């Protein structure tokens, strides 16, 4: 007769996989909400308040996130925080901004970067001579099937 284990000893706990430990994130990510983007804003560096950065971000449209709006974060805010009731960790304040503003800002920054690249290219290629070009023209290959 085969050695059998009793049904009472065969439980779910013994059949589960061992749970692996994961290092927790220093800055938790809030649950995403439609139309809002989140960002951690620096409020201090090495114990020195960074009022300039905070006020600049507030003027951009960022608003501090209330701790009561995101109970899933389970974060104890800094003891001497200037932003009571908000989520602040290690000199970083969780803020939200409408996604439309973020997309508009990204479009403007991409356009500005493209203008700068075009300017650099024009300035660089101005020195080019057709007999000895600085940059070789883009080559393209074509495959044609004929008779």
Per residue in 40-61, pLDDT (tens digit) is 999 988 888 888 999 999 999 9
Residue 53, token pair as written in the block: 């950065």
65-124 confidence digits (pLDDT tens): 888 888 777 776 666 778 888 888 888 899 999 999 999 999 999 999 999 988 888 887
Confidence at residue 13, expressed as pLDDT on a 0 to 100 scale: 60
What's the sign of the alpha-carbon dihedral 46, 47, 52, 56? Answer: positive
Indicate whether this model's pTM tops 0.85.
no
105-117 confidence digits (pLDDT tens): 999 999 999 999 8
Is residue 11 within 8 A of residue 46, CB to CB? The reply is no
DSSP H or E run through 98 = strand 92-98
**What is d(CA 132, CA 34) in angstroms, rounded to the nearest whole number?**
55
Question: What residues pair up with 95 in beta bridges, in sequence order?
Answer: 39, 64
């Amino acid at each position: 007769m085969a050695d059998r284990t009793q049904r009472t000893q065969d439980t779910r706990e013994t059949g589960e996989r061992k749970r692996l430990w994961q290092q927790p994130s220093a800055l938790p990510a809030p649950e995403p909400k439609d139309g809002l983007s989140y960002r951690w804003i620096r409020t201090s560096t090495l114990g020195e308040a960074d009022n300039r950065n905070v006020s600049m971000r507030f003027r951009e449209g960022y608003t501090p996130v209330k701790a009561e709006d995101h109970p899933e974060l389970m974060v104890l805010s800094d003891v001497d925080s200037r932003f009571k009731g908000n989520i602040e960790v290690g000199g970083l304040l969780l803020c939200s901004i409408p996604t439309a503003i973020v997309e508009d800002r990204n479009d403007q920054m991409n356009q500005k970067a493209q203008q700068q690249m075009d300017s650099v290219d024009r300035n660089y290629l101005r020195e080019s001579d057709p007999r000895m070009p600085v940059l070789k023209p883009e080559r393209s290959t074509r495959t044609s099937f004929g008779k």
